[in-house]
Amino acid sequence: MATSDDPTEARADVELRLPADGAFASVLRTTTAGLAARLDFTIDDIEDLRIAIAEASALVLAEADPGADLVSRFFLSPGRMQVQIETQAIDDPAPDYDSFAWQVLDTLATDAEASSAGGVFRVRFSMSSQVAPTEAGAGL
């Protein structure tokens, strides 16, 4: 498992690369739910995470260049998941903090941030389970 609190400094535990197309959003949601289940997230936490990942991917997909990939990185620790989703966006668009998708993500996530630099648009967020960390992650 990744040990750094900064996802840019650590190797992801899981990385998923998909075409930046909304048709693949269900693959990302299903993968996220499966990883959360391995971390012993509660059913409610998993559903919140599925909603959060859908909103984060909507933010990123809206900025993707034609033919770009959607790259998702998951950093796992007992009772906690950090997610980073990014795509190529040559114009370096500014994050839309007034959008409905951002408001939902920011409400559900423990913390969230969006940035655009160097031709990459990125959303990062983390979520924690309601299960105590000593109880979570037994199946890892």
Please tell me what DSSP assigns to residue 67: T
Q: Are 24 and 58 in contact (CB under 8 A)?
A: no
The pLDDT, as a whole number, for residue 88 is: 97
Q: What proportion of the chain, given as a percentage, has pLDDT over 70?
A: 86
Mean pLDDT on 63-68: 96
Terminus-to-terminus CA distance in the chain, angstroms? 9
CA 110 to chain centre: 12
pLDDT category at 10 given cuts 50, 70, 90 is confident
The pLDDT, as a whole number, for residue 9 is: 61
pLDDT reading at 6 higher than 80: no
Q: What is the mean pLDDT of the chain?
A: 89
Tokens in use for 17? Answer: 């690369």
Query: Which CATH number among 3.30.70.270, 3.30.565.10, 1.20.1260.10, 3.30.70.100 corresponds to the domain 14-128?
Result: 3.30.565.10
pLDDT reading at 136 higher than 80: no
Please tell me what DSSP assigns to residue 109: S
